[in-house]
Amino acid sequence: MDLIRSGKAPEVIRRKGAEGNLPLPAEEKIEILTLLAAAPEADLRAKALETLQGWDSADLRRVMANPKTAHDVLRLAAEHLLAEHEELREILLWNPSLPGEFRDLVKPKPTAQPAVVKPAAEPSPPQPEHVPPPPPPTATQEIPRKPEPAPAPEPAEEEVAVEILAKLAAGEKVEEVTDAHVEAPPEVTKRDDELTPKDRETLIEKIGRMTVVEKIKAALTGNMETRSLLVRDSNKIISRAVLQSPKISDMEAEGYAAAKNVSEEVLRLIAMNRKFVKTYAVMRALINNPRAPIDVTMPLLGRINERDLKGLALNRNVPEVIRSMAIKMMKQKEESTKVKLPGRH
């Protein structure tokens, strides 16, 4: 990385870097491609940019959502990747590390209204000469009123939702971010132990009719039953709002980490949340979840205890590479605890 940054890397390394073929983690490959996209050689710049534009969407989403990602990488994504990867737009806006000068560049452009073509005016029929003017309105006749001006257009729901999450990520409080006029139904705010079976049925129906902003408000301020429904929402903004709720307990986070019916995005966000992964049970559930991405669970293997490592080595539901690594780590631990007898040297 330092050699490429300094411009002293051999040509073959720079070429491989521009093709994305260096044996490095995806994060470092993307950073190298960003450096090479600004290289003095035009062909190298073009190749690096072409490689980035065709890069795996899952890798790009993960890197662009990380607040630790370098500003240069975020800037290049804002300037050159949105045409091919529209899904990065809301992720970049959510990332608090995106420099302010690029936020306007990333915000969706308002769609231009098609021009209204007026039909050609038809010729007026001939009027008789000396037509008297219409009489003034009498007291019983209504004077036609001017049409009321059209109300100003409301901002798009998705834009409002992204803005809410960006403010929360910047440290603002829930009460300051969500609008007071967005009221949650009573089933959302009831305590979980007060919910009846009828309340739960009603809750499912009402959540299905909610707007994006209403769902965000419910995810942030509602009860656990509401969050358990919204964390599986197909809209990533909603599931992300659930994980930002200050009401989530460690036991609830463990349940989400072990769930087989949540998206990979939810599992990634749990792994990126220091508060969650500091809880051992959450980390263990995440590692044992067969839906968890390998690049999320692999770095956590070194933090689990020997008993859970043995269980993971026997767990055939997790990806084979995770199970093999657990077996290898078990053997290494056994070797290190063997009593070494003095021998010949």
Per the CB < 8 A criterion, the answer to whether 210 and 236 are in contact is: no
* pLDDT value, residue 180: 41
- The DSSP result for 100-153, as a single string, is GGGHHHHSPPPPPPPPPPPPPPPPPPPPPSSPPPPPPP-TTSPPPPPPPPPPPP
Residue 330 domain boundaries: 249-337
pLDDT, tens digit, 9 for 90 and up, residues 293-320: 888 888 898 899 999 999 998 998 898 9
* pLDDT value, residue 153: 41
Within a 10 A sphere around the Cβ of 333, how many other Cβ atoms?
Answer: 12
User: For residue 175, is it within any domain?
Assistant: no
Long-range pairs, 155-158, Cβ under 8 A, ≥24: 156/108, 157/211, 157/212, 157/213, 158/90, 158/108, 158/212, 158/237
* pLDDT value, residue 287: 94
3-state helix, strand, coil in the chain (%, to 5): 60, 0, 40
Return the closest-CA partner of residue 252 out of 207, 285, 301. 285
User: For residue 232, is it within any domain?
Assistant: no
Q: Which tokens is 288 given? A: 């044992």
Per the CB < 8 A criterion, the answer to whether 170 and 96 are in contact is: yes
Per the CB < 8 A criterion, the answer to whether 276 and 292 are in contact is: no
* pLDDT value, residue 23: 76
* Residue pointed to by tokens 């190749």: 47
Q: Which tokens is 114 given? A: 């098609």
* pLDDT value, residue 5: 61
User: For residue 124, is it within any domain?
Assistant: no
Q: Which residues of the chain have pLDDT under 50?
A: 112, 114, 139-143, 146, 150-155, 180, 345
Q: Which tokens is 74 given? A: 């975020």
Domain boundary among 106, 134, 150: 106
pTM recorded for the entire structure: 0.50
Number of structural domains the chain divides into: 2
User: For residue 293, is it within any domain?
Assistant: yes
* pLDDT value, residue 208: 85
User: For residue 19, is it within any domain?
Assistant: yes
* Residue pointed to by tokens 């839906």: 291
Per the CB < 8 A criterion, the answer to whether 242 and 263 are in contact is: no
User: For residue 254, is it within any domain?
Assistant: yes
Domain boundary among 106, 130, 160: 106
User: For residue 25, is it within any domain?
Assistant: yes
The number of angstroms, rounded, from the C-alpha of 126 to the middle of its chain's C-alpha atoms is 66
Domain boundary among 45, 73, 106: 106
User: For residue 16, is it within any domain?
Assistant: yes
